[in-house]
Amino acid sequence: MNAVSQTGPSIRFRGRSFMALTLVADTPLQPWLADFDVWVQRSPGFFTGRTVVLDFADTAQSKADVERWIGELAARGVRLTGLEGVRPSLVDASMPPVLRGGRDSSIPVAEAAAAAEVATPAPAEPRKPATPVNMLVERRIRSGQSLMCLEGDVTIIGSVGAGAEIIAGGSIHVYGTLAGRAIAGATFGAESQIFCTRLEAELLAVDGIYRTAEDIDDAFRGKAVRVWTADDTLRMAAL
């Protein structure tokens, strides 16, 4: 009688890329948290459902430092999925893993859901993309909608409603009313700008420097405006 060999279901492994927001730790902690609290109050739900990595930038000196940062962010509803810039000896199994080979850019949003089968992945060197991948949207971005393109500029032919959010690696161009949140320079930093034909924004940010609605001069409200950074300050001018 011949033996019959049965093969059970195989285990499949796939490589998959996800976009992550990186918070850069700065010391002392309390002033950093004060600024962070302002951001969260002005942009409630900003971190909800997002992949968030904390980059210590070699500021953590002890395990207690790491635990405190993680705890303070958790108390504010930010669940970290990874850590960077910290010695592995300061991290234990109860903490998010220490990540290696992170890049300042991401794959285009349109392809973010596609899974790529890989063999042994080679470590990627941090770099900026050589050729920006820009996004053009010809419709209104409604309240509650979020649009992200970390590889280039975002151009919107239409309005951005209150409660909507635009995040761009480069610059943001809005040919219409900008009433939501616009966050530029997530990848390309201070060389990025924001342009809109009618400013009614809840929040503006370029290269991590931001202003909330309360900090925007009334002289710019309802006007065509350019926003950029210089000397670590967010600058604005009517067009």
Residue 168, domain CATH: 2.160.20.70
Query: Is residue 180 within 8 Å of 202, Cβ to Cβ?
Result: yes
**30 located within any domain:** yes
Name residues whose C-beta falls within 8 Å of residue 74's C-beta, 6 or more positions apart in sequence: 80
Domain-ending residue, one of 64, 90, 116: 90
Is the link from the previous residue into 28 a cis peptide, with omega within 30 of 0?
Answer: yes
| CA-CA-CA-CA torsion sign (96, 151, 39, 191) | positive
Question: Rounded to two decimals, what is the model's pTM?
Answer: 0.58
Show the tokens assigned to 188.
């390309």
Strand, helix or coil for residue 50: coil
Domain-ending residue, one of 90, 109, 124: 90
The strand pairing partners of 198, in sequence order, are 177
Show the tokens assigned to 116.
């790529």
Average pLDDT for 138-156? 90
Strand, helix or coil for residue 70: helix
Helix axes 63-75, 29-42, angle to 10 degrees: 20
Q: What is the pLDDT of residue 40?
A: 78
d(CA 94, CA 66): 12
Is the domain of 79 the same as that of 139? no
d(CA 25, CA 114): 31
**110 located within any domain:** no
d(CA 124, CA 64): 30
Give the range of the structural domain holding residue 174, as residue numbers without chain letter: 135-238
**39 located within any domain:** yes
- 99-127 pLDDT tens trace: 875 555 433 333 333 333 333 344 444 44
Domain-ending residue, one of 90, 106, 124: 90
- 16-75 pLDDT tens trace: 556 677 888 888 888 889 888 887 776 767 777 778 889 888 888 899 999 999 999 989
Q: Please report, for residues 56, 64, 205, the alpha-carbon distance to residue 92 in angstroms, rounded to integers and kept in the order given.
A: 16, 11, 35
In the chain, DSSP finds a helix count (H) and a strand count (E) of 2, 14
Domain count, the chain: 2
- 183-195 pLDDT tens trace: 999 888 899 999 9
Query: Is residue 140 within 8 Å of 159, Cβ to Cβ?
Result: yes
